[in-house]
């Protein structure tokens, strides 16, 4: 990489010994990936490319840890828990249409149907008839589901996979990071195209079969 030089085969300065606390820490895997791409494509401005990689890796690491927690504690995956979180944040009576759910969670209507099926089987959500849409249905949390999702919220707040890293940052740094992530998400979400109304049909039909 340009601007970076390393000595090869040189003995350390001083008495030839170095204490552990004086040695530079090894780069993290993400830092190594950054250095490799900067070396391989030094002709490009890689800021957006690398930032996308950081977001994807961060999401994967957090999602993987949360999925393990949900599987172990409640027998459902992290994606299914996100549906329950979407219902919970809507406030009492914790009800949403499938259309609202797949738009909020950025998944397909078919994926929502499968998630709802699994959560109904687990006793965490129920379906009810949607009086405003012929053949449609509503999804709402059960009492059992509310109890479970409250535990999940508290776990995310207090024991998230982000907690060790966040503890190393100052309050101002944490706020700046949250503000930056929110601004980026808001800008990206404004470019998302709304799902056509006809995509609601498979969800309605799936609800009719049950």
What domains does the chain contain, in order, with CATH numbers? Answer: 48-209 (1.10.10.10)
Give the per-residue pLDDT at 183: 93
Which range among 87-96, 163-172, 188-197 shows the weakest confidence by mean pLDDT? 188-197
**The predicted structure's pLDDT at residue 2:** 44
CA atoms of 2 and 96, how far apart (whole Å): 54
- Over 90: is that where the pLDDT of 27 sits? no
Of 124, 135, 86, 126, nearest to 106 by C-alpha is: 86
More confident residue, 18 or 140: 140
Sequence-separated (6 or more) residues with CB below 8 Å from residue 169: 177
Q: Is 139 left (phi over 0), alpha (psi -120 to 50) or beta?
A: beta
Given a cut of 80, whether residue 161 has pLDDT beyond it is: yes
Between 194 and 49, where is the model more confident? Answer: 49
Confidence of residue 91 (pLDDT cuts 50, 70, 90): very high
Phi-psi region of 135 (alpha: psi -120 to 50; beta: other; left: phi over 0): left
Query: Using 50, 70 and 90 to split pLDDT, how confident is the model at 4?
Result: very low
Q: How far apart are CA 14 and CA 204, in angstroms?
A: 75
> What DSSP designation does 141 have?
E
Q: How large a percentage of the chain has pLDDT more than 70?
A: 80
Query: What value, to the nearest 5°, has the Cα angle with vertex 183 and ends 178 and 184?
Result: 100
* Kind and range of the H or E run holding 140: strand 137-141
**Confidence band (pLDDT; 50, 70, 90) for 3?**
very low
Q: Is the pLDDT score of 199 beyond 50? A: no
Please give the Cα distance from 106 to 84 (Å, whole number).
14
Please give the backbone phi and psi of residue 137, each rounded to the nearest 5 degrees, phi first: -145, 165
């Amino acid at each position: 990489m340009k601007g970076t030089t390393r000595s090869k085969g040189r003995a350390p300065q001083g008495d030839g010994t170095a204490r552990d606390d004086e040695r530079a820490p090894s780069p993290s895997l993400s830092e190594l990936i950054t250095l490799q791409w900067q070396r391989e494509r030094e002709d490009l401005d890689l800021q957006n490319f690398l930032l996308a990689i950081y977001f994807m890796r961060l999401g994967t690491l957090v999602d993987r840890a949360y999925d393990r927690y949900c599987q172990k504690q409640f027998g459902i995956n992290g994606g299914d828990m996100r549906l329950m979180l979407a219902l919970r944040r809507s406030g009492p009576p914790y009800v949403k249409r499938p259309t609202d759910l797949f738009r909020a969670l950025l998944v397909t209507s078919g994926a929502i149907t499968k998630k709802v099926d699994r959560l109904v089987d687990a006793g965490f959500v129920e379906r009810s008839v949607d009086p405003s849409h012929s053949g449609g249905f509503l999804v709402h949390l059960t009492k059992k589901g509310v109890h479970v999702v409250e535990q999940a919220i508290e776990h995310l707040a207090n024991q998230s996979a982000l907690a060790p890293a966040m503890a190393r940052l100052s309050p101002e740094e944490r706020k700046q990071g949250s503000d930056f992530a929110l601004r980026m998400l808001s800008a990206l979400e404004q470019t998302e195209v709304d799902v056509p109304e006809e995509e609601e049909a498979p969800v309605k039909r799936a609800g009719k079969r049950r």
